[in-house]
Structure 1
């Protein structure tokens, strides 16, 4: 089958969007699709044509992502990837991935990012699962939140999401450099947390926003919605669904969680995307009545290996030679000497003997510091060639805070 890859033209957007919805089996809200159309750079997007129509779609946003050490790194956010069910296993996805990564390299980008609808798909293209997201259901009839001294001085103010957006964005911007995996807000992206189409609420009410203020300064916020549940055995049975919660200090953060778990008539609080090291796990009174779990989040692919490894800092001093296999981006294959510490790093080609051997996917998994190289070695995915090199590199790669992607794309 002949596959014709074309840059997405404005006049082809409707068909592009229709094929995307068909591949995922769900029609998006028209207002939400209009927002994504505004976000998407058409010149970075690909339509795969065959048999007289679009059979594959792929786009890429322009992002800036925090890496260990606090640097904001330009990154390509791969999105809207689909293949029509009639054209699977015919090379469409591989052709689009090949075109994208070549384009990213030509543009001088060091890393590519995506969230996977199916985790088994993208490993063969060098993407590794680099972050995780915590989800939970808290029984608020039996669980309370411990707050530190000063929490009673936090003033909480309920506003609409639109009224609170500027204050929320200011808090979010201050947090971005503190945690690997977070994305700096690009123009227009402040619209994302405001998108709340009734068709997507699943029985929940309109989204609300609570601002947390200390001495007149907004120090945190939470956005949530409530599904009225009436009563169960005479007890209120509503559900609170948390969309996001952020704060600049532990006192404000605990005050917000106390508020969320004490909303009148609610029996439970659910959330679907928090960092796996979220402090809420330490302040709930009974963790056994909190159904916590995690799943994969952001997938990372090193496009320019030496530039990517040199762009981040390392928790401990490291000087190792990595023997990397990268079949899909062969320019990354070979031996690389990585030397660095908390102040910076360098990564250059070398003919010295290798200390560790691993693949591109494993480097993507370890890049943001959420998965230790030692754990990957335990799964047989990293080979130690010099005794002691694994412990050295694993300690250096780990991040003090677990990496986290705060929202999908």
Structure 2
């Protein structure tokens, strides 16, 4: 009853999708959510980080609270080219950009001719022994040179903190310069996804420019009846639309299956193997169109 009321209120407010970090998955799966990704926090031995000769055209300095709007802008510049990342605007994040002090111990900025091209935000932690950890909240860059610079900045902590703890952003500029073979898993936080309104979710999602095609399917959503029905998904030119149709179709998708495909967490064949997609006399892989664009990822816990 609680989740039904939550979904109805979100729909009335105009929401398109929902995401959450579960303490237990079963009750959410029963209501249409499913695990769409894992937020990974890893430990890297500081001595394993690469040390590059600093790039002459870059400058490194300590950030101040006045730099936070530029930091948020750089994060959002990167987030636009990826899938699933939060905007970092609103009640969760606005206090970080208006406070007189930084929301973490330190902020390291990398600039190119005065323009921010990378940053790391971090907490020093305590001590100098074997259990000392430098916790890096973000380490993001928009150029390879800036990524190398940030890796070198973190490496220079090796004399006081044997471990750097950070959240990886798969395939980004910084990960390309980290010794991924040396990382050790510290924590994994699975997150779950669910559509609130499938038509809004499809229209607002963003789609690869090269993806093109149509597929018809019936969707069942016992908690959100406005999502239940037979739909045609049409994708072209970086956009998509979901429209109702009256035809008989061979693909029958549960809302959990929709969540997995929409977020790029699975393939149509795997969703069918899990019993969340039923195909009658047709290839279920036609619904891979709904997963076009790759997997979503989160960097923020909430």
* 1:259-270 correspondence runs (5 A): 259-263=153-157, 264-270=159-165
Unpaired stretches in structure 2, ≥5 consecutive residues:
none
Q: Distance in 2 between matches of 1:261 and 1:119?
A: 38
The alignment partner of 1:337 has SS state of strand
Task: Please name the residue that 1:241 is paired with.
Answer: 135
Mapped contact 1:219–1:247 kept (Cα < 8 A): yes
Determine the C-alpha separation between the residues in 1 that align with 2:173 and 2:72.
Answer: 21
Match of residue 309, structure 1, among 197, 202, 207? 202
Q: Counterparts of 2:11 and 2:206 in 1: how far apart (Å)?
A: 22
SS at match of 1:130: strand
Q: Which residue of 1 aligns with 2:181?
A: 288
- Pick aligned residue for 1:344 from 234, 239, 249: 239
- Mark the CA change 1:211 to 1:112 in structure 2 (over 3 Å): closer, same or farther: same
Residues of 1 paired with 2:51 and 2:254: CA distance? Answer: 44
Query: Within the alignment, does 1:170 sit opposite 2:73 as a pair?
Result: yes
> What SS class does the counterpart of residue 135 from structure 2 fall into?
strand
Alpha-carbon distance, 1:386 to partner:
4.9
1:180 to 83, 105, 110: 83
Alpha-carbon displacement from aligned partner over 1:169-222 (angstroms, at most 9, x marks no partner): 221232232222122233452324899x9xxx9xxxx61110111111111211
String of CA shifts for 1:29-83, please: whole Å, max 9, x gaps: xxxxxxxxxxxxxxxxxxxxxxxxxxxxxxxxxxxxxxxxxxxxxxxxxxxxxxx
Q: CA RMSD in A?
A: 3.0
SS in 2 for 1:164: helix
Contact 1:356 1:386 in 2 (8 A): no
Task: Out of 180-189 and 242-251, give the one that drifted further.
Answer: 180-189
| CA positional deviation for 1:281 | 4.5
1:217 corresponds to which residue? 115
Query: Cα deviation per residue 1:249-283 (whole Å; 9 max; x = unaligned)?
Result: 23212321221133142211112x33344455442
Contact 2:272 2:284 in 1 (8 A): no
Q: How far apart in 1 are the matches of 2:163 and 2:221?
A: 46
How far is the alpha carbon of 1:395 from its aligned partner?
5.2
2:156 and 2:289 mapped to 1: Cα distance?
A: 40
Q: State the structure with bigger RCO (CA 8 A, min sep 6), 1 or 2.
A: 2
Determine the structure 1 residue equivalent to 2:59: 155
Question: Contact 1:240–1:266 at 8 Å: present in 2 too?
Answer: yes
Q: How many residue pairs end up in the alignment?
A: 296
Q: Answer yes or no: is the 8 Å Cα contact 1:320–1:355 preserved in 2.
A: no
Q: Structure 2 vs 1, CA of residues 164 and 341 (structure 1 numbering), >3 Å: closer, same or farther?
A: same
Gap regions ≥5 residues in structure 1: 1-94
**Alignment-derived partner of residue 383 in structure 1:** 278
Distance between the aligned counterparts of 2:41 and 2:63, measured in 1? 25
